[in-house]
Amino acid sequence: MNQIFIHPSEDVSQVAIGNGRGRSGKSDPESLDMIGHSQAMREVYHLVSLVSKSDATVLLLGETGTGKSLIAEAIHKASTRRDKQMVKVNCAAIPANLIESELFGHERGSFTGAFERRIGKFELANKGTLFLDEIGEMTLEMQVKLLRVLQDREIERVGGRNSIKIDVRIIAATNRNLEEEVRAGRFRADLYYRLNVFPIVLPPLRERVEDIKPLTEFFLLCYGRRVGRAITLTSHVIDELTQYSWPGNVRELQHLIERSVLLSSGNTLAHIQLPAVQPEVADRPESFGITLEQIERKHIVKILRRCNGKIAGNGGAAAMLKVPPTTLHSKMKKLGISKVDYLSAQG
């Protein structure tokens, strides 16, 4: 079975598919190395293998930092379109008034500043793959236009009069719960069903803890080479890493290891500075549809229980939350947190 590889000299979003150690056969910052040995990721690879053989539209679902762009590129590189371009569009990064031109292109003079004809992403991706990242951030107005293109398989440049046939494989990705977005009226149901032909859910790092050690060793090798040192971890640090919830997933782990290597002076990392408080993650699937106030309330109650109800002083909830006790009292009052919420579970 094909495996997923990342390019450690760039970000976790760079990927290729292969069966060897990498371009050079060695594990260094300029080579490609395999990640993800857990059962959860093997299931993802299996789905990638299945859908790569078709032209079906794919919807990638997962938290920020789980590697959705990795999987998108993996699907493209294993498909019959691998010799053509994979064009990436971050829907959240393009202003609403420019995204139509970005996707479909425009003719000269079609609007102020359009001094020449521009080819859009759909045309650039013709015969290849178009990766629409952060699709959940697209406006309703733009969703209608995208739906029409997916249905008709043709585009019209902004300011143009002629329809242009396109042959593009669509892969979309989001960290939002699109079913909830549809219910809330923020995402069109017809577009959701058009995109949700073959959904793949990427597991967060906390649900595949067996991958944390090999990923950590991989990043240590990469960043250790950059500073000219072979760096190892103690078993205590490995235990700490596997117990942390990783709200930022693989990307957070990568940046933590990079920072730790730069701050270290020896060849062994006996301690890694993890965040003192692990925040709830608003884009986790189980917290979709929950308000930020509910998430904040749940987190404060959890900290209060951990501190046995102590608010001020050393070991108190205020210190753990890094806020003055008066601020915490005000926040508790605003959120309706009383002693019964955090002392009832103490037994």
Express each pLDDT in 105-137 by its tens digit: 877 766 767 677 788 899 999 999 999 999 999
Rounded distance between C-alpha atoms, residue 173 and residue 151, angstroms: 19
Task: Indicate if the pLDDT at residue 30 is higher than 70.
Answer: no
- Whether residue 345 is predicted with pLDDT greater than 90 in this model: the reply is no
Check whether 28 has a pLDDT greater than 50.
Answer: no
Using 50, 70 and 90 to split pLDDT, how confident is the model at 14? very low
Asked if pLDDT for residue 316 goes beyond 90, the answer is: no
Q: For 215-231, what is the mean pLDDT? A: 92
With residue 40 as reference, give the H or E element that holds it: helix 39-52
Mean pLDDT of 247-272: 91
Residue 331's pLDDT is what? 84
Give the mean pLDDT of 241-268.
92
Q: Judge contact between 265 and 306, C-beta under 8 A.
A: no
283 in Cβ contact with 323 (< 8 Å): no
What does the angle CA 197 – CA 202 – CA 208 come to, to the nearest 5 degrees? Answer: 150
Start and end residues for every CATH 1.10.8.60 domain found in the chain: 206-269
CA angle 325, 326, 329 (to 5 degrees): 85
Q: Which helix (H) or strand (E) holds 204?
A: none
Q: What was the pLDDT predicted at 4?
A: 42
Question: Is the pLDDT confidence value at 31 over 90?
Answer: no
Q: Give the range among 254-268, 286-300, 307-321, 328-342 with minimum mean pLDDT.
A: 286-300
Count of alpha carbons within 13 Å of 89, Cβ hemisphere only? Answer: 27
Mean pLDDT over 24-46 rounds to 62
Question: According to the CATH classification, is domain 206-269 in 1.10.8.60?
Answer: yes
Identify the pLDDT of residue 291.
Answer: 52
* Least confident residue range of 4-18, 217-231, 243-257, 322-336: 4-18
Mean pLDDT of 175-199: 95
Average pLDDT, the chain: 82
CB half-sphere exposure, 17, CA atoms < 13 A = 18
When the candidates are 3.30.2130.10, 3.30.2290.10, 1.10.10.10, 3.40.50.300, the CATH number that belongs to 34-203 is 3.40.50.300
Q: C-alpha angle with apex 182: 177 to 187, nearest 5 degrees? A: 95
- Token pair listed for 126: 């013709």
Share of the chain above pLDDT 90, in %: 51
Give, for 222, the enclosing helix (H) or strand (E): helix 212-227
- Among 1-10, 45-54, 183-192, which stretch is predicted with the lowest mean pLDDT? 1-10
In terms of pTM, does the model score above 0.75?
A: no
- What amino acid occupies position 97? N
Residue 112 confidence (pLDDT): 67
- Residue ranges of the chain assigned to CATH 3.40.50.300: 34-203
Give the pLDDT score at 271: 84
